Amino acid sequence: MAIVKMSKFDLFAFDSERENLLHELQKFKYVHFLNLNEDESLKEYGLRSVEVPENIVALDEEISKVKYGIETLSKYVPKESGFDAMKKGLETLSFDELEAKALKIDYENVYLQIKDLDSKKDALLQEVVRLNAAIDDLKPWTKLNSPIRDLNKFEQCEVLLGTIPKKLKQKLETDLLDTQYTYFEILSEDKDNLYIIALTSKLEVDQLKEILRNNSFSNAKLIGEDEPSNEISRLEEQINIKQNEINIYDDKIKQLSDTLPDLKVEYEYLMNKKLRLMASEKFMSTDNINVIQGYIPTDMEEDFLKSINSALKSKYYIEINEADKDDPDVPILLRNSKFAQSFESLTGMYALPRYNEIDPTPFLAPFYLAFFGMMIADIGYGVLMLIGTLVALKAFNLSESMKNSMRFFHYLSYSTIVWGVIYGSFLGGIVPLPALINPAVQYNELLVISIAFGAIHLFYGLGLKAYLSIRDGKVLDALFDVGFWYMALVGGIVFLASMVISVPNIVKNIAMIVMIIGMVGIVATGGRDAKSIPGKAAGGLYSLYGISSYVGDFVSYSRLMALGLSGGFIASAINMMIDMLFAKGIFGILAGIIVFFVGQLFNLFLSILSAYVHTIRLTYVEFFGKFYEGGGKAFNLFTNKTKYINLK
């Protein structure tokens, strides 16, 4: 249960064997390469970046083809429901199985078929769009009973079609009173415009055009030969024909949907192949030799060497040494029990530890478990979480990350049930149960318990800080930075408590003396890194001022009580509403059942969300702030993060 011990390797191998080497190391998986191109000193020795013979751009084009095929065919495959999809899960393959399946797949032929069919379908869709646009253009003119081709064949007259703004209707009608040989009609209108036809004599056409221009007339040019209504019917028939052709292409594409699983396998294979090429770009080389550096877990050194021997036989040179614990470049890999592993995501969200720190996950997990349960504290909610997570873990084929998430909430359900028993709460008191602590009455005692848990949490964090100092041979630092704080805080708490409760005078006096010694020690050593005496004194006083932050820290733990009370009171309020509804007869009972399920599930969601966030806050700010910095770099497994399969 700790940070995995790492070893650094320096490997020299022939450039011609690089692909074999990377292929075997990808099976091994637990290798983290360093980017040697960032080390300028190596270039001074004549080393240069590795030239990858296979262009990554070309590989990206292959990946794009496969991705296009997946995205296109996915539209034709019915999506499984959430439960069915989780139950089925993703196909699990080893690296060898993935490679063997991928090499048998003729994805290029599938891509060409899909591309051809989809392109023809898209061309038809564009034609349908064009036809629909033509119909939209003709719809305002359906009252026109003359063929479009005849509108410009009059010898003595001229026909003008177009639109004017609706707001100018009255002005146009007034202006047209001055004409003698003009016929004007509004054929249709929309929100903003009037669609008009004007028929006038050749003698009066210039006057009409001037009037129309003064009324913001916009000329319309109709496409077609027949009457607009007949043209629309003809276009709709063409659309139906095109749509039938589209359906035929859809059916042909759908027939290829059974190749979708193969394309997904091919995608994962190509992505891993791309990862090998990208890894090559981290190496340096001479004319014939590749220089490779990286890290491996120390306890996997034997398997690592077997992989290298399998790829290179005896044609290589390697040095492996234990990683320097103070080296900031050492990648971090955590290895914990199944219980603690479920809480690793919390550490990762904050920051991975540096190699010379400790993994805080096993230490935060018990406190997180206890605090989360205390903030929800309901047997019914805990049982719902327990059943839900058990069903998910047993019935569904989940990825490893999803399993960890389910285990996380599964473990938290036990704490929720235990605290529910302590509070005597089952779905907000719908079933009366005896309570060890009644939060509605004994809230003062609950506040004291919450702050006491906070004190244990903080002192434990300080204890871890002392352990790290002692481990690193800095015993005095443990005394100065932890010991004196223990004395000041414990002495201060007992001394203040003696003013509220009756304790022997000797206890009160000892507490005061211990508190004073601790405070003097903090002042004397808090600024020890300063060079001048005034600086040391100022630093010491500032360190002592930090005691005020502990007051805030202790108060922060009151949220353990507050959130437990709020969730319980909301659940009780829901139950009160149900009682009132049940008194209203059959319809009230039906409404009450709905309110019960919806309200309790909503309160469960809010309670879980609040407990999750606020327990993280207590962990990150109060607990981690006492001993943990983080800042480590994650160990990058030499395998691509899969999307469509589980790679074991």
Q: Comparing C-alpha atoms, which of 83, 101, 85, 87 is closest to residue 261?
A: 101
- The number of helix segments (H) and strand segments (E) in the chain equals 25, 16
Mean pLDDT, each 10-residue run in order, the chain (648 residues):
89 91 93 88 78 78 94 86 70 87 91 94 94 92 87 85 92 88 90 91 89 91 88 93 94 92 93 90 89 94 94 91 91 93 93 93 95 93 94 86 92 95 88 86 88 92 93 89 87 81 82 88 81 79 78 88 88 86 84 88 92 94 91 92 85
181-187: long-range contacts (C-beta < 8 A, 24 or more apart)?
182/208, 187/140, 187/141, 187/142, 187/143, 187/144
Element (H, E) at 128: helix 107-138
The full set of domain ranges for the chain reads 2-52+281-334, 152-221, 360-627
Q: Comparing C-alpha atoms, which of 637, 618, 616 is closest to residue 626?
A: 618
> How far does CA 79 lie from the centroid of its chain?
22
Measured CA angle at 146 (ends 140, 150), to 5 deg: 115
Which one-letter DSSP state was computed for residue 153?
A: -
- Please measure the distance between the N-terminal and C-terminal CA atoms of the chain and give it in whole angstroms: 22
Per-residue pLDDT, 63: 93
According to CATH, what is the number of the domain 2-52+281-334?
3.30.70.120
- Written as six digits, the tokens of 111 are 């891509």
Is 452 in a helix, a strand, or coil? helix
56-74 helix and 260-280 helix, angle to the nearest 10 degrees: 160
Residue holding tokens 């506040």?
447
Distance CA 131, CA 342 (A): 58
**Inter-residue contact 564 to 423 (CB < 8 Å):** yes
**Going by C-beta distance under 8 Å and a sequence separation of 6 or more, which residues neighbour residue 35?**
282
Which one-letter DSSP state was computed for residue 180?
A: S
Alpha-carbon distances, residue 394 vs 159, 301, 389, 391, 403 (angstroms): 78, 35, 9, 5, 10
Q: Comparing C-alpha atoms, which of 266, 274, 272, 271 is closest to residue 105?
A: 266
Per-residue pLDDT, 576: 87
**Do the domains 152-221 and 2-52+281-334 match in fold?**
yes
Q: What is the pTM of this model?
A: 0.82
CATH 3.30.70.100 fits 152-221, yes or no: yes
Per-residue pLDDT, 82: 65
